[in-house]
Structure formats: C-alpha cells, structure tokens
Structure 1
Amino acid sequence: MQSPLFAHTEAQSQDRYTLQNPQLLRVALTGHDDVLARKGTMVAYQGLIEFDGEYQTQGQRRARANTGEGLDLMRCSGQGSIFFANLAQYVHVMDVDHDGLTVDASYVLALDSTLHWEVIAVDSQYGISGSGKYNLNISGQGKVVLMTSGQPLMLHVTPDKYVNADADAIVAWSSSLRVQMQAQTHSSGVWRRRGNTGEGWELSFLGQGYALVQPSEQLPPQNAVVGQGMAAQFGMGQQGARGQNQGNIWNN
C-alpha cells in the first residue's frame, strides 16, 4: 500500500507531551503520572489506558454552578500513549510555574494531574463574551495544554509597556499581572460596541508577565448540540453536526 498519508506517521520522542503536528498532541503515560484532559478529546491511544470521569470537589462544583466557569475533565491513567485533539484547533504546551496562569476554561485541552485550578473573578461587573468575568487560575508545577483558533500571539508585558487585548481574543495571561476591564465608548450604554468601530470590551494588563492572544474573536463551539433523532445520531442532514455548523471556522 502506498500513499502520501504515510508521511504523517507518529513523531517519536521521550517527552511526556509531544506535538504530532500543530493540531494534534500525544501524551506518554508511564503508569504513575495521570493526565487530565477535556472530555471527549481523545482521538486514539496505544497501550493499556483507562479513562475515568474526574471527581470535582464541592467547592469546584459550587463555583461551576454559580459562575458557569469550570473544567469538564476525564482522568487518563495507565501505560501507553494517548492522542488528543479538538476541532482541529492549534495546540500549545505551556509550563506553569510559581507565577501561575489565568485562562478561559474553553481553551484548556489537558493538564498535569498535579496542578491545581480554581475559579477567580476578573475586574468587571458585566458578563463579557469570550473572556467572561470569571476565569480559571491554574497553579502549581506542571504543564497545561492550551488550544487556539489559529496561530496565536504572545505579548510581553512590562511595567513600562502595558498591553490591551480584546476580551473576545484573549486566551490566557500570567496570574501575576494586574487586570482591568474597560469599554471606552461614547455610547450611553457601555455594553454596546464602540459606535461603528465594531470594538467592544478590552482587558488591560499591567505588571510583569505575558498575555496570549488568538487571531479570532470567537470561542469554539464546545459541546455543540447537534439536534435530535436518528439523523442527528449519525450526523446527517440539517440535524447533524455539519448541518448545525455550516460556515463555522473550525470546520476545515
């Protein structure tokens, strides 16, 4: 059998996290180092792997109920390799150090089970699409895998050079940064976008750290409802996943 497809073979590496291509991640497990991943993102695996729903503490469940922010995770354990992907989004592996990382839950693909996460409030009294008034603060020592729609931009924030980012495009930032949310507008209703510019809420980052921005102002359709009945079950017609997502930028 011959095909150009055979050029897309598994990338060999001794690392725990290895990008197979910009949109596909491999995680190697050795039997004592579980990984937590977004539910439903496993596309293949090799070896003896078990998948279990991840327990959430009472505080995490309460925060999810009150804010809508949280992680729907599965615990992956055993020995072997697991391949993760989500809607062909670009995948990025980041180290979480003592500064911590603040991120919208919708952009988290996987993380080390040793990391801790909690819901925090962003400086706003309004609910904002994209980066809402609640986000996740991930702390500890380990790696977290983020997703972006397109290749992102990492901006360096310093005390003499602060950064402003559209609240719908920001993905994550250093938890050590001070954050202010604002909508500079001449309209009487601050929730309306700025006149005819199409721009709305923005986040200002001050201090020392980094801010990650994606080239898109839309969130991926996580857990999209695909309709009802047999047609939807098999992904056909207007009730299927394709019918529900015509023109979606994550359909390639």
Structure 2
Amino acid sequence: MRSELFSADNLEKESAQPGLRLQNSKLLKAELNGEFMARVGSMVAYQGQVHFEALGSGGIGKFLKQKLTGEGVPLMRVKGHGDVFLAERAADVHLIDLEPGDALSINGANVLAFESSLKYDIKMVSGAGMMSNAGLFNCVFTGQGRIAVTTHGTPVVLTVDQPTYVDPQAAICWSASLQTGYHRADQLGLGTLLGRSTGERFTMSFAGQGFVVVQPSEEPPGGFAGLGGGNQQSSGGILGNLFD
C-alpha cells in the first residue's frame, strides 16, 4: 500500500527516554513509564498497559477554588507503561521545562498535560481584575518538570524588559514574578459615547523581568462571573485571603 500519508513525517516518533515530547505541532506524545497528569478528554490514542484515573481539579482545595472561580484544570492521572497521544481541538502544542525556583502563571484552559513532579495552585491575577484571559484567576505552576501548553496559532514570546501591554484575551501565560495590571487603551471621549470604539478597550500591563506568551487569537475571558474590572490588590475579603 502506498500513500504520502505513510511518509516519515507522519510515522510515530520513538525515543529511548520516557516523558512528554512532541509527535508533531498539534499532537503530544507521552512515553509512559510511571505517571503524569493530563487534561480530561485529551487522549486520542494509546498503546500498552495504560490506566486513566479522574482527579477533578486535583484535590479538594483546588476543587473548591475551581467551583468559586471557574478556573482550574480538570485532570486525569495517566499511569502504566506505553505510549499515550494527546491533543486539544487541533491546537498547537508547546513544551515548557520549569526549573527549581521558576513559577509560570497560565490560563488553565491552555494546560494540556504536565509531569507529576510539578505543583499548581489557583491564584488571583494581581491588578488585572477581569482583564486576564482566564478572568480574575490563573493557575500558577511551580517545581521542576515539563508542562505542555496549547495555543490557537503560532504564538510570540515577548521579553518583558520594558512596559509591555497585551490584549487580555490573547495572553496565554507569563512569568509569575511579573507585576500585572490593566491599562485603558481606548480613550474615553465623545466618540466613545456615540458608540465608536477601537475595539481595544483594555490591555493587560506587565512590568519586571520575564516573558509573556501571546497567541494570535482572542479567546473570550472566563473566570468569576459578576466581578467587574478594577485593581484586585484592593479586593480583600474572604476571596482575597483564600487566593493570596
């Protein structure tokens, strides 16, 4: 049987080392010898002795936070020996290796899989209010290990070494050490009152030293419904204490 479908580019990529790696730009391959965490429903194929265990958001604390915020990652634990292939609606897949001391703030909707050595929590996006892609909250990953994230289209990685502003619906993830806020990009005036707008009412601001990953697509914001924009550093109260 002959077909371009069977070209070397489409054949399964083999490696002697277990772990997460790219099969292609839209497909993640996990060469499994132990366990890792993955988004529920992301498995498209597997070979070998593999078991899947639903975890919800990964613990009662994260479950409560997810219910309160709408943010989080619906997880399954994948265990055993074999090869597991994962994807999310043909989105582009990218791998990020975290080292000790690193912290990555990411929209939970863009998390595809991660090694079990990593830890994550749901945190307030300081100063950004409802202006972040994930809404009022984001997932913050720490520890040492690899995480696979998704974007809609090929992203740009901006180095934050000067004031940086990003459409909140295009910001995927950023260095958690950055200071975040929001900036009114569409100036108020008679034109605004008459319904004329640039379509860029607010942007997220980033300051400090780090990076921001921006996708060429705008996703509608999620998060805690009913909370408007504002400086979250002054939110306080029960939620402020819970997510500090």
TM-score class normalised by the smaller sequence: 0.7 to 0.9
Greater RCO structure (CA 8 Å; 6+ sep):
2
Alignment of 1:27-106 (within 5 A): 27-30=30-33, 32=34, 34-54=35-55, 56-97=58-99, 98-106=101-109
Measure, in 2, the Cα distance between the counterparts of 1:128 and 1:177: 16
TM-score (norm 1): 0.78
Measure, in 1, the Cα distance between the counterparts of 2:109 and 2:128: 21
Report how far residue 132 of structure 1 moved: 1.1
Measure, in 2, the Cα distance between the counterparts of 1:91 and 1:2: 29
- Structure 1: give runs of 5+ residues left out of the alignment: 221-252
Task: Answer yes or no: is the 8 Å Cα contact 2:158–2:213 preserved in 1.
Answer: yes
Measure, in 2, the Cα distance between the counterparts of 1:196 and 1:10: 49
Report how far residue 183 of structure 1 moved: 2.4
Report how far residue 208 of structure 1 moved: 1.0
Which string of whole-angstrom CA distances, capped at 9 and with x for unpartnered residues, describes residues 118-172 of structure 1?
11111347434733111111111111100000011011112xx232111010000
Alignment of 1:133-212 (within 5 A): 133-158=136-161, 161-187=162-188, 195-212=196-213
Report how far residue 187 of structure 1 moved: 3.4
Aligned residue number for residue 228 of structure 2: none
Which string of whole-angstrom CA distances, capped at 9 and with x for unpartnered residues, describes residues 73-104 of structure 1?
11100001100011110000001221210000
Measure, in 2, the Cα distance between the counterparts of 1:210 and 1:124: 18
Q: Secondary structure at the match of 2:130?
A: coil
Q: Secondary structure at the match of 1:123?
A: coil
Q: Secondary structure at the match of 1:86?
A: coil
- Structure 2: give runs of 5+ residues left out of the alignment: 222-244
Measure, in 2, the Cα distance between the counterparts of 1:118 and 1:25: 23
Measure, in 1, the Cα distance between the counterparts of 2:134 and 2:166: 10
- RMSD between aligned residues: 2.1
Task: Answer yes or no: is the 8 Å Cα contact 2:170–2:215 preserved in 1.
Answer: yes
Partner letter of residue 93 of structure 2?
A: V
TM-score (norm 2): 0.81
From the two aligned structures, give the one with the greater strand fraction: 2
Report how far residue 27 of structure 1 moved: 0.6
Q: Secondary structure at the match of 1:92?
A: strand
